[in-house]
Amino acid sequence: MARKQSLWCYTIAGWSGFYVMLVELLSGRLIAPSFGSSIYVWGSVIFVFMLGLAIGYLFGGIFSRYSPSLLRLCGILVAAAIATLPTLFFGTQFLDFMFDKITDPRFGSLLTCLGLFLVPTIFAGMVSPYAIRILVKNRESSGHDAGYLYFISTIGSSLGTLLTAFYLVLLFEVNTILLAAIGISVAVGGLGALANYRKV
């Protein structure tokens, strides 16, 4: 039972890392037609994602204190995916609105990133600290468990960065990639919940 739960925790953390970097790279592509791809735009993207992850780490640690379970971890992953849907369906309209209202590309790109990507990044940031709480059973293994999970999560982020930048954006439209990634997140979260619902 414990080994199966651990495997799911690592899988969810790895995919969450992949997902965050995929969305971060695609966010630059989405914003570029309106605000360009200058250092201001990428500075806004990086700031918003780092801020979102920081808040997510904090919330994930707090939330993990209250009856942590794999089912809830799966719910966090699905929430991150669902929170990305407004970008998919209304991102273009929101970009046009912000472009018309804010002429300064620095603040325009920053506010656009905050509106589109802060919430899903917060949910994604909650995954790792929450998963660690499920994995750690005693003090002696806590450092090993945390290190191994962050290793898996960071490998996922690295692969998400490389595959998105080198291949996915060359082969598919941005919305297609986003939709597929959202679908995979929902599938992983749903399968994890179904496989472990008796262990809540």
Spatial CB neighbours of 167, under 8 Å, sequence gap ≥ 6: none
Confidence of residue 1 (pLDDT cuts 50, 70, 90): low
What domains lie within the chain, and their CATH numbers?
A: 2-199 (1.20.1250)
What is the distance between the alpha carbons of residues 81 and 52, in angstroms, rounded to a whole number? 14
What six digits make up the tokens of 144? 């090993």
| Torsion angle, alpha carbons of 172, 173, 176, 181, to 10 | 70
What six digits make up the tokens of 47? 């700031």
Whether 97 shows a pLDDT value over 90: the answer reads yes
What does the pLDDT look like over 11-53, one tens digit per residue? 999 999 999 999 999 999 999 888 888 899 999 999 999 999 9
What letter would DSSP give residue 37?
A: S
What is the distance between the alpha carbons of residues 115 and 113, in angstroms, rounded to a whole number? 5
- Whole-model pTM: value is 0.93
CB distance 12 to 77 below 8 Å: yes
